[in-house]
Structure 1
Amino acid sequence: MWTYYPELLAKPVPRYTSYPTAAEFGDLDPDRYRQALRNAEGDISLYIHIPFCEKICFYCGCNTAHAGRKQRLESYLDALHAEIELVASLLPPTALVRRIAFGGGSPNAIEPDQFRLLVDKLFFSFATADPVLSIELDPRTMTSDWAEAIGHVGIQRASLGVQTFAPHCQQAIGRVQDEDCIVRTVDWLREAGVTSLNFDLMYGLPGQTMADLEDSLQRTRVLGADRVALFGYAHVPHIVPRQRVIDASELPDQEQRFAMAELGYAYFATHGYTPIGFDHFARPGGDPLARAAFDGTLRRNFQGFTDDTSDVLVGLGASAISSFPHLLAQNEKNSGRYRMLSSQDHLAANRGILRTADDRYRGAVIEQLLCQGRAQLGACLMREVRPSLQPFLDRGLVDIDRQWLDILPEGLPYARTIAALFDAHRAATMQQFSSAV
Structure 2
Amino acid sequence: MTHDLISRYGGNAPRYTSYPTAPHFSADIGETPYRARLASLAPEPISLYVHIPFCDTLCWFCGCHTKITRRYEPVLDYVDILILEMAELARAAPPNMQMSHMHWGGGSPTLLTANDTLRLARVAKNLFSPTEAFEFAVEIDPRETGEDRIAALAEAGLTRASIGVQDFDSQVQQAINRTQSFEETAAAAHSLRNHGVQSLNLDLMYGLPYQTLERTLRTIEQALTLAPDRVALFGYAHVPWMKSHQRLILEEALPGPLERREAADAAAELLISAGYRQIGIDHFALPGDSLSQACDAGMLRRNFQGYTTDQATTLLPVGASSIGRLPDMFIQNEPSLKSHARRVTEGHLPIAKGVLLSMDDQLRAAVIERLMCAFSVDLAAICTLFGADIACLSDAFPRLRAMEQDGLLTHNRSQITVTPVGKPYIRQIAACFDTYFSQGTARHSSTI
TM range (shorter): over 0.9
Q: Is the 8 A contact 1:4 1:258 kept in 2?
A: no
Question: Tell me, what secondary structure is at the counterpart of 2:438?
Answer: helix
Q: 1:195 aligns with which of 190, 194, 198?
A: 198
- Pair 1:157–1:2, CA change in 2 (3 A): farther
1:329 maps to 331
Q: Is the 8 A contact 2:3 2:258 kept in 1?
A: no
How far does residue 71 in structure 1 lie from its aligned partner after superposition? 2.6
Q: Is the 8 A contact 1:75 1:339 kept in 2?
A: no
Distance 2:297 2:78 in 1: 41
Q: Deviations over 1:221-240 (max 9, x none)?
A: 11111101111111111110
1:433 maps to 444
How far does residue 73 in structure 1 lie from its aligned partner after superposition? 1.7
Q: 1:238 aligns with which of 232, 238, 241?
A: 241
1:32 maps to 33
Q: Deviations over 1:269-305 (max 9, x none)?
A: 22100110132100112x1101011111100011110
| TM-score after normalising by structure 2 | 0.94
The worse-fitting range, judged by mean Cα deviation, of 167-176 and 67-76 is 67-76
Whether 1:221 and 2:232 are equivalent positions in the alignment is no
How far does residue 94 in structure 1 lie from its aligned partner after superposition? 5.4
Return 5+ residue gaps in structure 1 as ranges. none
Report the AA paired with residue 33 of structure 2: R
Distance 1:74 1:222 in 2: 36
How far does residue 164 in structure 1 lie from its aligned partner after superposition? 0.3
Return 5+ residue gaps in structure 2 as ranges. 381-389
1:25-174 matches, cutoff 5 A: 25-27=25-27, 28-41=29-42, 42-93=44-95, 95-130=97-132, 131-174=134-177
How far does residue 428 in structure 1 lie from its aligned partner after superposition? 2.6
- Pair 1:123–1:3, CA change in 2 (3 A): same
How far does residue 3 in structure 1 lie from its aligned partner after superposition? 7.3
Q: Is the 8 A contact 2:23 2:442 kept in 1?
A: no
Distance 2:14 2:23 in 1: 9
Question: Tell me, what secondary structure is at the counterpart of 2:434?
Answer: coil
For the aligned residues, what is the CA RMSD? 1.5
Q: 1:414 aligns with which of 408, 420, 425?
A: 425
How far does residue 70 in structure 1 lie from its aligned partner after superposition? 2.6
Q: Is the 8 A contact 1:206 1:251 kept in 2?
A: yes
Question: Tell me, what secondary structure is at the counterpart of 1:133?
Answer: strand
Distance 2:280 2:101 in 1: 23
Report the AA paired with residue 29 of structure 1: G
How far does residue 377 in structure 1 lie from its aligned partner after superposition? 1.9
How far does residue 350 in structure 1 lie from its aligned partner after superposition? 2.0
Q: 1:247 aligns with which of 245, 250, 254?
A: 250
Q: 2:415 aligns with which of 396, 400, 404?
A: 404
Distance 1:391 1:193 in 2: 51
Distance 1:125 1:43 in 2: 13
1:320-359 matches, cutoff 5 A: 320-359=322-361
Q: Is the 8 A contact 2:10 2:425 kept in 1?
A: no
Give the aligned length: 436
Identical counterparts, % of pairs: 37
- Pair 1:282–1:3, CA change in 2 (3 A): farther
Question: Tell me, what secondary structure is at the counterpart of 1:113?
Answer: helix
The worse-fitting range, judged by mean Cα deviation, of 325-334 and 369-378 is 369-378
How far does residue 10 in structure 1 lie from its aligned partner after superposition? 4.0
Q: Is the 8 A contact 2:393 2:433 kept in 1?
A: no
| TM-score after normalising by structure 1 | 0.97
Q: Is the 8 A contact 1:4 1:255 kept in 2?
A: no
How far does residue 125 in structure 1 lie from its aligned partner after superposition? 1.6
1:392 maps to 403
- Pair 1:266–1:186, CA change in 2 (3 A): same
Q: Is the 8 A contact 1:9 1:435 kept in 2?
A: no
Distance 2:23 2:392 in 1: 23
- Pair 1:333–1:340, CA change in 2 (3 A): same
- Pair 1:191–1:430, CA change in 2 (3 A): farther
Whether 1:295 and 2:297 are equivalent positions in the alignment is yes
Q: 1:319 aligns with which of 321, 335, 348?
A: 321
Distance 2:68 2:113 in 1: 14
Q: Is the 8 A contact 2:281 2:372 kept in 1?
A: no
How far does residue 381 in structure 1 lie from its aligned partner after superposition? 4.3
The worse-fitting range, judged by mean Cα deviation, of 361-370 and 21-30 is 21-30
